[in-house]
Amino acid sequence: HNGALHCTDYTMRGLHASLKDRCNLYVYECGSKFGLVKALLIDQGRHNGEMLKFALIGGHGEKDSISMGGRAERDKVLISDLEGRGSSKAGSFFDKDSTIVLYSCSTGQEGGIAQKISEQLGVKVIAPESPTGMLFMDAIFNDGKMTIEARYGDTKEKGYKGGAQIEAKNDY
């Protein structure tokens, strides 16, 4: 829909290989914030309510928004969308140790949408500070626990957990 994940074959193959058949990888393409919510609901139904351990959300990003498709407001996830009760319910889709990686330029800026997502959902969020591409993503398994590592090109990645800044490295 939005082309943000175009040309990431190397990155996705690397992530898939690092999963080592230890967990499933499902890909949903969404053209709006409503499509994203619908995909999460469908996923919950297909997997008997099993919680997500990881999500990669891509879209054209700015500090306060992620564009999922077109230019209309309904096509963007806005920081203001994360203010209501409904957004905190989305946290029930994710395991408490989940990681969300934003493949969306500039979303990792302090006070931005990555920090707000982590605060509302209570999960780890990794995002770039400025416009960039993704170098790689890895799933690392240690004592049965999966952590995600993501590295971006020309910028520093930021990590948040529960709204607080953390290191965006292997162990949180």
| Residue 98 phi, psi (nearest 5) | -70, 160
The mean predicted confidence, pLDDT, of the chain is: 83
The bridge status of strand 94-103 relative to strand 52-58 is parallel
The answer to whether the beta carbons of residues 156 and 33 sit under 8 Å apart is no
Sign, Cα dihedral of 62, 67, 55, 8: negative
Q: Which residue has the higher pLDDT, 167 or 48?
A: 167
Confidence of residue 49 (pLDDT cuts 50, 70, 90): low
- pTM across the whole model: 0.87
Helix ranges, 74-165 (H): 85-89, 113-121
